């Protein structure tokens, strides 16, 4: 039987607590390495890549709306920094679809994601690269980590930017 207070469920309270905890953990991850204002350690952690020095932070916003939490970061890289970023993406454990499609089964994907601590994989696109997570119907994050959150990222070859979005939903 769910916990209740005077006949009301604590689910909304627990959801708010979960959103606040996720925001706090993300902030701690961002601040854990060197400068508290540098968002790069958190981005590297969630995307499984190394981001080279010499970048400019174009966007760094945090938004809270009820139970939702969103962190949006856009980095501008130098030409040499962009080349290093591409090398890091292409060396990431789940780059492309070679693993996902060669092993096929969603269970195998879940096992590999848990091994790496990642929630998705990088794929090349017409304009750069994209970090993709399996859809919620294929493999919900709650199945892997007990949380409902999404990580999105795109890398633009023409703009030399990395656009990162973390959402707790």
pLDDT at 16 over 80: no
The secondary structure of 99-116 as a DSSP string is HHHHH--HHHHHHHHHHH
pLDDT at 73 over 90: yes
Q: Would you say the C-alpha torsion 129, 93, 69, 134 has a positive or negative sign?
A: positive
Task: Taking residues 20-37, report their average pLDDT.
Answer: 45
Q: Would you say the C-alpha torsion 43, 45, 49, 53 has a positive or negative sign?
A: positive
pLDDT in the model for residue 94: 78
Locate the DSSP E strands across the chain.
4-5, 8-9, 55-65, 68-77, 121-125, 128-132, 149-156, 161-168
On average, the pLDDT of the chain sits at: 74
130 close to 154: Cβ distance less than 8 angstroms: yes
Strand bridging mode 68-77 / 161-168: antiparallel
- Which domain does 45 fall in, by range? 4-168
Q: Please state the domain count of the chain.
A: 1
**For the chain, first and last CA: distance in Å?**
25
Helix (H, G, I), strand (E, B) or coil at 2: coil
Write the pLDDT tens digit of every residue in 111-139: 777 788 787 889 999 999 999 887 655 55
């Amino acid at each position: 039987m769910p916990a209740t207070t005077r006949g009301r469920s604590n689910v909304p309270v627990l959801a708010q607590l979960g959103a606040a905890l996720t925001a706090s953990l993300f902030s701690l991850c961002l601040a854990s390495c060197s400068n508290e204002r540098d968002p790069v350690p958190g981005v590297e952690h969630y995307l499984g890549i190394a981001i080279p020095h010499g970048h400019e932070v174009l966007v760094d916003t945090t938004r809270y709306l009820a139970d939702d939490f969103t962190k949006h970061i856009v980095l501008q890289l130098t030409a040499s920094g962009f080349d290093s970023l591409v090398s890091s993406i292409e060396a990431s454990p789940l780059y492309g679809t070679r693993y996902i499609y060669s092993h096929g089964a969603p269970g195998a994907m879940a096992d590999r994601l848990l091994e790496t601590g990642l929630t998705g994989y990088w794929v090349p696109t017409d304009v750069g690269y994209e970090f993709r997570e399996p859809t919620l119907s294929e493999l919900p994050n709650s199945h892997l980590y007990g949380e409902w959150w999404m990580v999105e990222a795109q890398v633009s070859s023409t703009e030399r930017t990395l656009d990162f979005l973390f959402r707790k939903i």
